[in-house]
Amino acid sequence: MIRKALKKTSSHPRLKEFLKKYKIPREYFSTSRKMISRGVWLGLFIAFIPMPMQMAAVLLFVPFFRFNVPVALAMCWLSNPITMPPMYYMEYLTGSYLLGIEPEPVELTLEWFKDNLDEIFIPLYFGTAMYSIFGSTAAYFLVNLLWKDSVHKERKKRKKK
């Protein structure tokens, strides 16, 4: 269903006019399985990294890789002001566990972060690497699997008719 909605949206005349007006290559809005999967992978990879301007980071990859840019931007919105604290705390705990470090008790104040950044930096970014690599890769394969399943179901439905 999402696949059909994406296909329908990508062929909308207003989108075609927008792309033509601003001379944006159409491949950045392609709705093929590979382009959507890559967009999901890159967007989630960036979303797990605790850094400012994640959307700008996604856009930095546009000249080097082919992916669906709107999907990648939407995926990087996974980390928003509401989801950031639990995500980054879980990454910190995971990194601490994997490195065998006793996690510091966390206080959500800027002063605490300023004073303890040295102790939490390595476990946080180690956990971030684990979630970025494995989480985004799992999502990539899941999107591929669901896309193929959707195509097979549609073909079966057509054969029955």
Per-residue tens of pLDDT for the chain, all 161 residues: 566 677 666 667 777 777 777 677 777 888 889 999 999 999 999 999 999 899 999 999 998 999 999 999 999 999 988 998 899 999 999 999 999 999 888 887 778 888 888 889 999 999 999 999 999 999 999 999 999 998 899 899 888 87
Domain limits for position 90: 2-160
Backbone phi and psi for residue 51, each to the nearest 5 degrees, phi listed first? -155, 155
Q: What is the pLDDT of residue 93?
A: 93
User: If 0-12 CB within 10 Å is exposed, 13-18 middle and 19+ buried, where does residue 36 land?
Assistant: buried
Q: How many domains does the chain have?
A: 1
pLDDT for the residue 132: 96
Local structure of residue 105 (DSSP, 8 states): P
Instruction: Tally the residues of the chain.
Output: 161
Cα separation, 3 vs 68, whole angstroms: 13
Spatial contact of 131 and 94, defined as CB atoms under 8 Å apart: yes
The pair of three-digit structure tokens given for residue 148, joined into one six-digit string = 């193929």
Amino acid, res. 56: A
Task: Give pLDDT, residue 23.
Answer: 72
H helices of the chain, in order, are 2-10, 13-21, 33-47, 54-60, 69-76, 84-99, 110-130, 136-160
pLDDT of residue 107: 82
Instruction: Tell me the one-letter amino acid at 89.
Output: Y
71 neighbors 39 (Cβ within 8 angstroms): yes
pLDDT of residue 144: 94
